[in-house]
Structure 1
Amino acid sequence: MSEDHSVNLWFAALVVVFCLLLSAFFSAGETAFTGASRSRMLFLEKNGDIRAKLVNRLLNMRERFLGTALIGNNMVNIGVSAFTTSILVNLFGSEGALYATVFMSILVIVFAEVLPKTLAITSPDSAALLLSRPMSWVVAILGPLALMVERAVRLMLLPFGIRIGENTPILSASEEIRGQLDLLRKEGNVEKVERDMWGGLLDLQELSVSEVMVHRTKMRTINADLSSEEIVREVLASPYTRIPLWRGSQENIIGVLHAKDLLRALDMVSGDATKLKVEAIALESWFVPDTTSLRDQLKAFLAKKTHFALVVDEYGEVMGLVTLEDILEEIVGDIKDEHDLSVQGVRPQPNGSVNVDGSVPIRDLNRAMDWNLPDEEATTIAGLVIHEAQAIPDTGQIFTFHGFRFQVLRKSRNRIMALRITRLVPVGNKAD
Structure 2
Amino acid sequence: GARLSQEMMRNVEPYLACCQLGITMASLGLGWVGEPTVAALLRPLLLPLGISETAQHFIAFVVGFLVFSSLHIVFGEQVPKTLAIREPEPVALWIAWPLQASFILFYPLNWLLNAASSSVLRLLGVREASHLEVLTDVEIEGLVQVSAEHGEMEEAQAEYIHNLIDLGELDVADVMVHRTNMHSIDVAEPPAKVIDDILSTPYSRVPIWESEPENIVGIVHAKDLLKQLRQTGGDATRINIRALATKPWFIPDTTSLTDQLNAFLKRKLHIALVVDEYGEVQGLVTLEDILEEIVGDISDEHDVVVEGVRPQADGSVTVDGTVPIRDLNRAMRWELPDEEATTIAGLVIHEARTIPEPGQAFTFHG
Q: 1:114 to 1:206 in 2, by over 3 A?
A: same
Residue 194 (str. 1) matches residue 153 (str. 2): no
Match of 1:211 in 2: 174
- CA distance in structure 2 between the partners assigned to 1:54 and 1:338 by the alignment: 48
Q: Which residue of 1 aligns with 2:100?
A: 133
The aligned counterpart of 2:183 is: 220
The one-character-per-residue Cα deviations of 1:39-91 (angstroms, maximum 9, x if unpaired) are: xx9xx4xxxx345434643x234774465355335423432443345435644
* 1:242 and 2:195 aligned: no
Q: Does the residue aligned with 1:83 lie in a helix, a strand or coil?
A: helix
Alpha-carbon distance in structure 1 between the residues aligned to 2:264 and 2:168: 15
Equivalent residue, structure 2, for 1:53: 7
Task: Classify 1:146/1:296 alpha carbon distance in 2 versus 1 (closer, same or farther; 3 Å).
Answer: closer
1:123 to 73, 81, 87: 87
C-alpha distance in 1, partners of 2:82/2:101?
20
Is the CA contact 2:210–2:216 (under 8 Å) kept in the aligned structure 1?
A: yes
CA distance in 2, matches of 1:289, 1:251: 15
Q: How does 1:332-351 map to 2 (within 5 A)?
A: 332-343=295-306
Verify: 1:253 aligned to 2:216, yes or no.
yes
Q: For residue 347 of structure 1, report the CA deviation from its aligned partner.
A: 9.6
CA displacement, residues 187-236 of structure 1 (integer Å, 9 cap, x when unaligned): 22322333334445555566543333222121111233444454344334
Does the aligned pair in 1 maintain the 2:8–2:15 contact within 8 Å?
Answer: no
Matched, 1:79 2:46: no
Q: Is the 8 A contact 1:216 1:319 kept in 2?
A: yes
Structure 2 length normalisation: TM-score?
0.70
Contact 2:144/2:158 (8 A) holds in 1: yes
Question: Please, which runs of 5 or more residues in structure 2 have no aligned partner?
Answer: none
Matches within 5 A, 1:29-40: none
CA deviation profile, 1:368-405 (whole Å, cap 9, x unmatched): 7597x887776667767877x6956866555xxxxxxx
Provide the residue aligned with 1:17 in structure 2: none
Deviation at 1:331, TM superposition (A): 3.9
1:81-106 CA deviation, whole Å, 9 max, x = no partner?
A: 43345435644242634544554454
CA-CA distance at 1:316 after TM superposition:
1.6
Q: CA deviation at 1:275?
A: 5.9
2:125 paired with 1:171 = no
Let me know the Cα RMSD of the aligned residues.
Answer: 4.7
The answer on whether the counterparts of 1:88 and 1:100 sit within 8 Å (CA) in structure 2 is: no
2:290 maps to which residue? 327
Go from structure 1 to structure 2 and tell me whether the alpha carbon gap of 1:273 and 1:102 turns closer, same or farther (over 3 Å shift).
Answer: closer
Q: Which runs of 5+ in 1 are unaligned?
A: 1-40, 399-406, 408-420, 423-432
Alignment partners' CA distance in 2, 1:271 and 1:375:
47
Give the match's secondary structure for 1:239.
coil
Secondary structure at the counterpart of residue 314 of structure 1: coil
Could you tell me how far apart the structure 2 residues matched to 1:175 and 1:53 are? Answer: 28
Given the superposition, is the C-alpha separation of residues 154 and 370 from structure 1 closer, same or farther in structure 2, using an over 3 Å criterion?
A: farther
The CA distance in 1 between the partners of 2:341 and 2:225, in whole Å, is 38
Give the equivalent residue in structure 2 for 1:281.
Answer: 244
The corresponding residue for 2:146 is 183
TM-score by length of 1: 0.61
- 1:321 is displaced (CA, Å) by 1.2
Match of 2:112 among 125, 141, 144: 144
Distance 1:345 1:104, change over 3 A: farther
- In 1, Cα distance between equivalents of 2:80 and 2:198: 71
8 Å CA contact 1:67–1:146 kept in 2: the answer is: no
Q: Which amino acid aligns with 1:141?
A: L
CA separation of 1:301 and 1:106: change in aligned 2, threshold 3 A: closer
Match of 1:71, SS? helix
Which residue identity does 2:288 align to in structure 1?
E
Name the CA distance, whole Å, in 2 between partners of 1:72 and 1:386: 70
